[in-house]
Structure 1
Amino acid sequence: MADSQVCQQVRQHIMQMPLVDDHVHSCLAQTPSRPRFEELLCECAKPLGPGQSRFDSQAGFALVRYCSPLLFGERCAVADYYDQRAGVDEETADRTLLPAAGVGDWIIDPGWAATELIDSDEFARRCGGRVHLLTRLETVAEQLLQDAGAVHDFPQAFRRALHEAAANNVGFKTICAYRCGFDIDWRKPSDTAVQQAVDALDAHGRERLVDPQIVSFIVHEAMAFHKPIQFHVGLGDRDIDFRHSNPLDLRDLLVAAENVGTPVVLLHCWPFERECGYLCQNFNNVYMDVGLASYLMGVQAVDALRRALELCPFTRLMYSSDAWGLPEQHYFGAMVFRRAFADLVEQWVADGDWLPADAIRVADLVAAGNAKRLYRLS
């Protein structure tokens, strides 16, 4: 059993340790309207209806708890937050909240609605940390499918585009969970089969890639670079179908990725934290985080982390926020993670299950060390 002073030292270390945000997005260029702010707060959810607010959620309460003292000098009521926030310009909010997150390296996916966001260089200036880029595979493919010249030789055009992107990124990202699901044939298709699938696409199919054969192709092509490939798993907006997003359906692809030495990162993972932990335990190339889940769950984030840590090796778990648009998400996502991790580890130390030195070592791995090793960040 550890005494209270030792436990408090462990907690203080966790609350101050530097983080690597394994998966994140940039911030809005313009202050959003209240409806837009609430949409972003709860992953693009639609309004609840008259007289209801998305602030009345675990995410909303956590945001106000952690962010209002920094922005306004004191904690405010949940119902008052947006009115006070509307008087703070976005650059001021960014420069206040982003550095306070304690993130040294931000791994940014710039692939969705980027025109609403500040660019990665400006984000780096405002956050005071280092920015590294991901390449979203579907975005690359969909841009080529709109190009009359590229579409007639799609396999080769995609390889050229991916090679160019890989020169400036630290990894790749796929949103196939939203598009075709994980329960598809993950064998690598031939160029001929892929081209035939491309030729059969209508205009909508070229704008929004859902064809499982083409999706399998773009993922296999990314595997050839041996850089981490991130997979959105589980929790997201209403567009995702949980019936087809169980990560256990990735097994054949994970075997293929393991055989060629390509890491796979399972993002967010709710309600599949246990399945993802099992995969991390049984494959030498699989990693996970509970990013989006943790900030949406607020004070309940400890449950997602507890489930992940049942089986996931401590060298395979990482931190992310999946913050998009709101600097508040970047900051309170980090604070929610720190508190949840500290609550778990402090109790294990207090019970004598973990030694304090081991607790601090593991905390540093999850916070930053695992991501630095995986993404080769110096």
Structure 2
Amino acid sequence: MSHPPLDAATNAWLEGGAADEITVRANETAWQSIALRPRVLRPLAGSHTRMRLLGRDWPTPLLVAPMAHQRVLHPHGEQATALAAAALGAGLVLSCQASTPLEDVARLHLADPGRGPLMFQLYLQAQREQTEALVRRVEAAGYEALVLTVDAPVQGVRDREGRSGFRLPPGVSAVNLPATAPADVATLLARAPTWDDVQWLCQLTHLPVWLKGVLHQDDARQAVLSGAHGLIVSNHGGRTLDTACPTAHALPAVIAAVGEALPVLVDGGIRRGTDVLKALGLGATGVLVGRPVLRALAAEGAQGVAKTIKALHDELIAAQALTGCRDAHEARSLGIFFDQRN
């Protein structure tokens, strides 16, 4: 059953970005600017969409990006998203600021034998003891990787959200985190994550540690040296630093910097199966999808999320076939990209 349209404040929270929202828009147009020159009469028998990640094969390269407070949009929140993702074979990265206990989400997702990978997005807490306690819960619940967000030492200047007066509704909060008083900017900057924290986290846990929010090739190289197990090229969906480069533009340099040393995922503006094809053809292992999932969750709960994931996966299959690729990673070797910026 569909739900009423979102009120203006909630819509501003969902759709808004930082400042003038230039990066929000650029994320989508960057993928669109890469034109395709399909190859024809190619053998397509044996085509597939499998993704190799965390030491095993998964049915689709699609993952749901970490997004906070999903019960704002639907009473079932993260539980609905987890069920839908698992049913479609997609991966899930649960937000550190989820509005549902992380153990409940893990039980739902892990119960489906056809599921995708289950990862937990982490912000370092004020005290290392708090971070360690959270990591131990994540390990015990069965998550398969940690995703440390590294691009948001402070919150972005979200003008649209601020003007709307959005507030979390009663009964919705970041239930997996300890209640803390708001910190001033100086305090936040003093405890902003560093490369030393990455090394500490890698030594703390047996789970592979991924870094989310890497756009610069030099940071990608440092990630290899610091013991990270994977990277997510991300600009936080345009919600932190406005005029940050689109992820489609940053991805090739990051891929070139790490080579075969680390797998790389990408998010930001993925809206169509052709976007997925381009990301994988540029060297990404998989993609994360954000706002389309939340829009679907708000409209139709788990059923809406499932429809959205299925549509993207079906579009990817069609895009592969129509460009002569048996899998999306063939796109670069076949020379089907025609970048209109050049």
TM-score, length of structure 1 as denominator length: 0.45
Structure scoring higher RCO (CA < 8 A, sep ≥ 6) equals 2
TM-score, length of structure 2 as denominator length: 0.49
